[in-house]
Amino acid sequence: MLCLGIESSCDETALALVEDGRLVEAVLASQADVHALFGGVVPELASREHYRFVGALFDELMRRSGRANAEIDLIAAARGPGLLGSLLVGVAFAKGLALGLGKPFLGVNHLHAHLLAVGLEHELRFPALGLLVSGGHTHLYRMESPWECSLLGRTLDDAAGEAFDKVGKFLGLAYPGGKLMDALARAGTAQPTLFPRPYLDNDNLDFSFSGLKTAATGQAAHLLAGQEWPRPLTDLAYAPQALKDYCASFNLAVVETLCAKTKRALDRNPDLKTLIMAGGVACNSLLRDRISQLMQGRGGEAFIPSGKLCTDNAAMIAHAAWLLGKSGYSHRLSMETIPRGKAIPNDMLSSLC
């Protein structure tokens, strides 16, 4: 089965072909330079850029792959969550293509696709605990299969990636700030007690990083007094040691909070010996090490995608579509797109029923 996946949930226009669980070809147009001027994603600009790129990218994808349009068996797009205008561009293009080619259409849950992306590099094992850490979401799932994911905990305000990016912006780091904060942290020495581990004094599996973000920005003036660096900072060579140490301390606070809640989820689900971590923050080097150590200490195993599959990409959409499509799932063309903040319904049709 040859599946086309389209990803347009935020500021990356991406298309990919996956055949029988293997990536055939992928193309991407990044909008990072456009949004860097504003220090964050501007939704209206993002949707316009998606509209400008998607048709040309599809033509380029088919040219590179050497495949004909008629060879595509299933056409899929991220249906949400994400920026509504951006999502609509990708979904509308996918629906139009499906209608024109007479092929089935599938709307993919962007969050579940992140977690399933590791299947492109490793054999998926279920049941598993899913830890999704991205710019907009910090979620814990119990995963029974590619289409059965139960939400155990979620962020109540700022997600982990959002906290990184907002603190990075406050510090004058180049957009996106989270990636540069990780690099600075690796060159710094963390003070373990400098920042709090937020929202741990409870018995639930939810997250809250807004308080940590406020604490970090509030202490910056004192901790970094007298330190200077170019803004926006793009080169680590110009970063003072105090800034590196500050980033290392903040990074440690976020990572230890994520690990504490993950351990709590594992304690409550003792049958789970597999953990899947995904999302942009899964690129964080300290987090990857700590999560792997956590699972090794419990006699289990952590599966984490390579960096290119952690950030938004179309290969994960096409792969998730392949997993669902081979099991007989699809959507009507009347399927609704779901913006961030709303639950995605389980409204897929099954040809097996």
Q: What is the CATH number of the domain that holds 173?
A: 3.30.420.40
Model confidence at 257, pLDDT cuts 50, 70, 90, reads: very high
Please give the pLDDT value at position 14: 97
Asked if 156 contacts 341 with a C-beta cutoff of 8 angstroms, the reply is no
Same domain for 134 and 112: no
Same domain for 200 and 66: no
List Cβ neighbours of 8 (8 Å cut-off, separation of 6 or more).
14, 50, 54, 77, 78, 82, 86, 87, 89, 90, 91
Could you identify the residue written with the tokens 């599996």?
A: 205
**Per-state percent for the chain, helix, strand, coil, to nearest 5:** 45, 20, 35
Same domain for 234 and 130: yes
* Whole-number Å distance between alpha carbons of 26 and 291: 29
More confidently predicted of 178 and 332: 332
Same domain for 8 and 49: yes
pLDDT at 353 over 70: no
Please give the pLDDT value at position 352: 54
Stretch among 244-258, 271-285, 289-303, 335-349 having the lowest mean pLDDT: 335-349
Same domain for 316 and 269: no
Share above pLDDT 90 across residues of the chain, in percent, rounded to a whole number = 90
| 3-class SS of residue 274 | strand
pLDDT (tens digit per residue) in 169-194: 999 999 888 889 999 999 999 999 99
Same domain for 255 and 185: yes
Where is the domain boundary, 287, 304, 321?
304
Mean pLDDT of the 70-79 span? 98
Sheet holding 22-30, edge to edge: 22-30, 12-19, 2-7, 74-80, 105-109
Same domain for 277 and 318: no
Same domain for 268 and 168: yes
Please give the pLDDT value at position 35: 84
* Structure-token pair, residue 123: 């054999």
Our count of domains for the chain comes to 2
Please give the pLDDT value at position 30: 87
Burial class, 123, CB count within 10 angstroms (exposed 0-12 / middle 13-18 / buried 19+) = exposed
Same domain for 205 and 334: no
Same domain for 152 and 75: no
- Domain carrying residue 255: 126-304
Same domain for 83 and 198: no
Same domain for 78 and 50: yes
pLDDT (tens digit per residue) in 275-326: 999 999 999 999 999 999 999 999 999 999 999 999 999 999 999 999 999 9
